Structure 1
Amino acid sequence: MSSAKRSLRIELDREEDGRWIAEVPDLPGVLVYGATEAEAVNAAKALALRVLADRIEAEHSAPALIEFAVA
């Protein structure tokens, strides 16, 4: 098994109503809202991990280690 890391960038933006949007561009569909920046980042990480878990189950292979970077 490889020990190479894969970094996933989380992009943040703030809506006019004060909500935060967090998106992982490398994983289509990973776009979430949060009341705070931290809530949005945590929700994006959780959804990204769910998407990756679904891919692992479908492909029956383990991914490289994952590191999140907030942009």
Structure 2
Amino acid sequence: MNKTIPIIIEKDETGYYVIECPLFSGCYAQGKTIKEAQTNFREALDLVLEEKENRQIWENYQPKSIRFETLTHAQNSSSFR
């Protein structure tokens, strides 16, 4: 069954692309290219979906709305004293 799920793709400080899915804790993969990271992520997702609880999340997931934003934040050092 094909599903569209939210994923986050970020290029890390070493130059690798990291993909994670907020639906499943610990479901992530990386690769030197986005395509490689996607291939690795699909393999990781297949493993995650072997668990009954995760399969139920997958089967019942119906996105209402997906929105992505970034946040810029300057650490206020006085709040850590």
Give the shorter-chain TM-score range.
0.5 to 0.7
Gaps of 5+ in 1: none
Length-normalised TM-score, structure 2: 0.57
Alignment partners' CA distance in 2, 1:8 and 1:55: 18
Length-normalised TM-score, structure 1: 0.63
Structure whose residues are more often strand by fraction: 1
Q: Runs of at least 4 residues of structure 1 off by over 4 A?
A: none
RMSD: 3.1
For the pair 1:27 / 2:24, whether they are aligned, the reply is yes
Percentage of pairs with the same residue:
20
Bigger CA radius of gyration: 2
Gaps of 5+ in 2: 62-67, 69-81
How many residues in Structure 1 have an aligned counterpart in Structure 2? Answer: 60
